[in-house]
Structure formats: structure tokens, C-alpha cells
Amino acid sequence: MGVDCKYVNTSVPEELIQIAEKEKRIILTRRRNFPTGTHEFFVVVDDIPFNQAVEVVKKFKIDPLENAFTRCLNCNVELKQISPEEVRGKVPSYISKKHKEFKMCPSCGKIYWRGTHQKNMLKILMEIRKSASES
Ligand SMILES: [Zn+2]
């Protein structure tokens, strides 16, 4: 969805709170007894990832499509547009011939294009947006 987010694997709420306050982030947690304070947090209730995404999209009024596919899935860094010439040798030649638009992560170098995977993701994002507007 292109939302700036960070995954922190810890069972210590204070660690999350410290990071969230330092980086001005909102904490998403499954922990129902998450400690309250000056930090902002949201408890995700559903067990199913799709429904969890709907919960978050509704709560924060996110349009899942507005900034979709603008960040690296690995690094959370904003992607940069690169030309088909620049991807030559970095992706299979049938990909660089078939597609005109490419984006690259300036951090890890991963190259993205509108392939089948992105089409499938787009379909899921559209379903998330639809579910969030209906419920
Ligand atoms: Zn990356």
C-alpha cells in the first residue's frame, strides 16, 4: 500500500514504544493489554491477514491503492523509476522486452515491474478497499 511501516520482532512493549516515539510511528499490535500512555497504538483483533488489513485500512482511512507499489517490500524504502535500458542484464530479457516501466529499490537494488504478481496484489488491494468501505 506504500505506507511507511516497520516490523519490530519483540515481546517487550517498552521497546516498541521507544521506537514509535523516536520515529513518530503508530504501533499496531495483537496484544489486547498493550500498555497505555502517550504513544498511539491500535490493537488488531482479527486472526486472518486479509481482515487485519481491512481493520487497519478502516481505522487509519488509508486508500490501499493511492500509493500502492511505491515502496520496497523488503526495505520499506521508496522506489525510484528506472528505464528499461537500465534494467538490461538485471532482469530476464523477456521481461525487459515486454515491460516499459520499472522501479528499483535504492537500498537493496530489487527491481519491480507490473507482472502477474503485482496484478494479483492489485486485485487483493481492491478487495481490501471494497471490504473496508462496506463494513
Ligand atoms: Zn529494498
Q: What is the DSSP letter of 92?
A: -
Q: In whole angstroms, give the CA distance from residue 131 to residue 50.
A: 10
Contact 27, 20 (CB under 8 A): yes
pLDDT tens-digit map of 63-81: 999 999 999 999 999 999 9
Distance of CA 12 from the midpoint of ligand 1 (Å): 27
Distance of CA 77 from the midpoint of ligand 1 (Å): 6
State the pLDDT at residue 135. 74
Ion ligand 1, residue ranges at CB < 5 A: 72, 74-75, 105, 107-108, 110
The dihedral built from the CA positions of residue 126, 109, 106 and 22, taken in this order, carries a sign that is positive
Domain extents in the chain: 13-134
Q: pTM value?
A: 0.88
State the pLDDT at residue 111. 96
Span 22-26, average pLDDT: 97
Contact 50, 114 (CB under 8 A): no
Distance of CA 34 from the midpoint of ligand 1 (Å): 31
